[in-house]
Amino acid sequence: MPEAAAGDVDLAVATARCAFGDPAGWPSWDTARRGPALERFGAALEKRGEQFTQLVSSQNGTPISIGRVSEAVTGQVLLRVKASGMGRELGPEGLAAFQQPKPIYLPA
């Protein structure tokens, strides 16, 4: 049974559009402000790792043992990697360097 109704989804989309259109919102933030926000988001995902594992497993059948590595860890690690790069000096690409997808290689 879904936990959100169509109206909930519509409200979430409208709220996100409003936030990105806000001149004081995320698109206007500098890296010094974005980094800590990404770190907080990573910490929130870490706290909910087991919940994500269980939800994804029930959704698509991923074994719990794999989900505990992939679902419970990957998102928060990627956010924290991105957040840690926010403090470094920007090169000629400026903030655009953090807005373009780039492969991230993590040690096994």
Question: For each of the chain's 108 residues, which pLDDT tens digit applies?
Answer: 467 888 999 999 999 888 888 888 888 888 888 889 988 998 898 899 899 899 989 998 989 988 888 887 888 888 888 888 765 554 555 545 555 555 555 555
When divided into structural domains, the chain yields a total of 1
Residue 102 lies in a domain: no
- Number of residues written out for the chain: 108
Residue 99 lies in a domain: no
Residue 1 lies in a domain: no
Give the structural domain span for 45. 6-86
78 exposure class (CB count in 10 Å sphere: 0-12, 13-18, 19+): middle
Residue 32 lies in a domain: yes
Residue 93 lies in a domain: no
Residue 103 lies in a domain: no
Per-residue pLDDT at 75: 84
pTM: 0.60
